[in-house]
Structure 1
Amino acid sequence: MTDRADVPPEVLAALRGICAGLPESYEEPAWVGTRWRIRQRTVLHVFTAHPGSTGAFSRAAELTEPAVVMTFRAQAEEFDSLVGAGHPFFRAAWGTQVVGMIIEPDADWTEIKELLTESYRELAPAKLARLLP
């Protein structure tokens, strides 16, 4: 069984590639898993969640087996749409407009890049957000 903090290397590599294009974002260990930040704001947090042992996250995502979970910010309209769509999206257990997503083996990395770019836009200073295409 994977430890809660473990995220498969291929998932971390894909997320690193996406976040490398976000001006001044940086990666750091989180209390569990890994997060990417802009200044002191978390753009993305990823970790392996286990049913029953990760409390609110496993309940929110209705996990029945270990899963790689990421959380990110979304604009109000996008938040409602994503959370309303259901699996693999869910309302994260904390914060406002924080979306949770289960990263499955067949994840659409183009969509994930778009979602994380928008999360960055929500949190970055306007000067940095304008640097994105």
Structure 2
Amino acid sequence: MTEYERSRTMPADAGRVFDRAADAGRLDRWLPRELHVHVEDPPAVTVHEDRADRDTPALLRARPEQLRLEWGTRDEGAYAGWLQVAGVEGGTSEVTVHLSFFDDRHDPGRDAVATALDSSLRRLEEQVRGHTG
């Protein structure tokens, strides 16, 4: 198993950040550009990965009372992850994203994951700031 984690401070309170991150209609606006989530019958979703040109059945659960999103593959148990928002003083918050790959065939590698996580957190911050849609 391989695990990755990244954090970023956001210029908004934790509730606002979580609402943006958990909005199923806006996931494509902050997730890695090569991933597309199609919500079916929540918590069931399908994730299309452009790189492999394949769809993967997955689960996505929002836990608003914990300011937490959790996800993972439905059938094959290849990967799982979570996003946690925590309030920080001064009306800011910290977002942490954690990924676990249980099957090395699904792990794109340290550099690719680091780039994707950093980009996703930057895009989420743009959403929170209101710069995009």
Q: Same fold (TM over 0.5)?
A: no
Question: Normalising to structure 2: TM-score of the pair?
Answer: 0.31
TM-score (norm: length of structure 1): 0.31
